[in-house]
Structure 1
Amino acid sequence: MELTWYGHSTFGVELGDTSLLIDPFFDNPKTDTDPGALDPDYVLLTHGHADHVGDVDAYEGATLVATPEVVAYCQDEFGDFDAVGGMGMNLGGTVECGDAYVTMHRSDHTNGMETGYEASGGMPAGFVISDTKPTQVADEDSVSFYHAGDTSLMTSMRDVIGPFLEPDVAALPIGDHFTMGPMQAAVAVDWLDVDAAIPIHYDTFPPIEQDPEAFAKEVRATGSDADVVALDGDESFDVTENLMD
């Protein structure tokens, strides 16, 4: 599994022969990537805010993975997209996306769409992406990545996502103001019991400017031995190579 951070909350995930793109928003200072240069099989959307769906119109050939409400919004606003399962998915579900299994979990945030009329995308989400379907029997050879979406700290990280979905790597917002800041994100790292944490959703706009080293210090203060991997924009991290040897 290879992860590429394109700034803000935008991630590319390569797993086997399947490519996934999460929250495409390339109008951020961390990336030089042209959205049209990517050709994902699946586009995963955590919620409908503009800084998470801003470039979804570049991927009409991809299958959308999102709540039915967000899928319908994108189909109305941006193009004639197919949706996974024909209708999207919802919280708690796991869907097979090529070589990947995608499990949707809640995040604690808002999800109104900026359309000029009242529209809700339902509950915001995060995703756990793995190469095997989650079961209660732990599989030490499986690899999984948790993209938390825009969220505050929530006990389901400690009670459900960590012990049952067992992510190896978590991408967590640290920007504060609109999401968790470094301190609460560090507690999330400890609760999730991941091997590595990637800070996201920071330094895009003035209200969310952060030093990722402050996040690393907070992680160490929890007693967690997780590695904090502060990627540069357009930089990749090979989970299998770095964590699964």
Structure 2
Amino acid sequence: MEIRWFGHSAFEIVSEENLKILIDPFISNNPSCQVAVEDIGADVILLTHGHADHFGDAMEIADRNNALLIANHELSIFLAQQGFETLGMNTGGSCMVQNVKITMVDAQHSSDIDFMEEVAPGGSAAGFIIQLENGYRIYHAGDTGLFGDMKQVIGEIFKPDMAILPMGDRFTMDPEAASIAAQWIYPQKVIPMHYNTFPIIQQDPDHFVELVKSKSPEIDVVILKPGQTYQE
């Protein structure tokens, strides 16, 4: 399994059976991303919500790769109206793509489609639990604040092996809240995201490492630079 971070909340996961999963592909307008959108492929694209810095280049990449787009029900209708193959979901629901199980979970955030001339409803923001072919579970939290179900549902029921958590503050959790989320979820590994893309969400990842270690020393914090790949 490989995970590549493109900066912000954009990740590529390549499974053991070589399924390419792209999450929140904010690429061409992402100042921290050094990869051209034309060089990114995908079999399936997951969208956590409708904001431009997450929806990003989803339609261009899906069109070029004939990729399946997975999002909440409202976003899936919007995408289907543009002619794309979509799979709509809602909180608590799951689907199978080849041998990978994808479950939609709550996130505390807004989700309107904000990149068109008129802002349109975009359903509810979400996170995803991605269970790979070997059973390894990755939790991508999307944009969210801290909420109790991170402990009672995501941590205690889904038990992810890896959690990818936002920590930029202003629009999501800050590093302190993200370290509490890590403590509640208690995965083996945590990757921080949604920070340092813009000055307004500037954070020090080393401080996040210190916060996690002070609460949960057994958790391994993986700090990636945009473009870097982590292998498991």
What are the equivalent positions in structure 2 for 1:196-235 lying under 5 Å apart? Answer: 196-235=189-228
Cα RMSD of the aligned pairs, angstroms, is 1.4
Amino acid in the other structure paired with 1:35: V
Tell whether the 8 Å contact from 1:174 to 1:182 is kept in structure 2 after alignment: yes
Distance of 2:99 and 2:41 partners within structure 1: 16
> Equivalent residue for 1:81?
84
The 10-residue stretch of structure 1 (24-33 or 186-195) with the greater mean CA deviation from structure 2: 24-33
The equivalent residue for 2:4 is: 4
Rounded Cα–Cα distance in structure 1 between residues aligned with 2:78 and 2:211? 38
- Where does 1:57-206 land on structure 2 (aligned, <5 Å)? 57-58=59-60, 59-60=62-63, 61-76=66-81, 79-84=82-87, 88-114=88-114, 115-131=116-132, 142-206=135-199
Residues 45-76 of structure 1 show CA distances to partners (whole Å, capped at 9, x for unaligned) of: 00000000111122221111101211223344
SS of corresponding position for 2:200: helix
- TM-score, with structure 1 as normaliser: 0.88
Unaligned runs of 5+ in 1: 133-140, 240-245
| AA at the equivalent of 2:110 | T
Q: Secondary structure at the match of 2:130?
A: strand
Secondary structure, counterpart of 2:89 in structure 1: coil
- The answer to whether the 8 A contact 1:102-1:129 is kept is yes
CA offsets per residue over residues 203-231 of structure 1, 9 Å max, x none?
A: 11111011101111111221342111110
Counterpart AA for 1:66: A
Matches of 1:29 and 1:226, distance apart in 2: 30
- Note the C-alpha offset of 1:189: 0.5
Q: Return the alpha-carbon distance in structure 2 between the equivalents of residues 145 and 238 of structure 1.
A: 13
Structure 1: which amino acid aligns with 2:200? P
Where 1:29 maps in the other structure, the secondary structure is: coil
1:53 paired residue number: 55
Number of paired residues? 226
- TM-superposed CA distance for 1:31, in Å, is 2.1
Structure 2 gaps, min length 5:
none
**In 2: Cα distance, 1:99 partner to 1:17 partner:** 11
Residue 17 (structure 1) shift: 2.8
Partner Cα distance (2:180, 2:129) in 1: 19
TM-score, normalised to structure 2's length? 0.93
Partner of 2:20: 19
The answer to whether 1:37 aligns with 2:30 is: no
Give the AA of the match of 1:157: M
State the alpha-carbon separation in 2 of the partners of residues 102 and 221 from structure 1.
32
Alignment partner of 1:66: what SS?
Answer: strand
**1:118: how far off?**
4.6
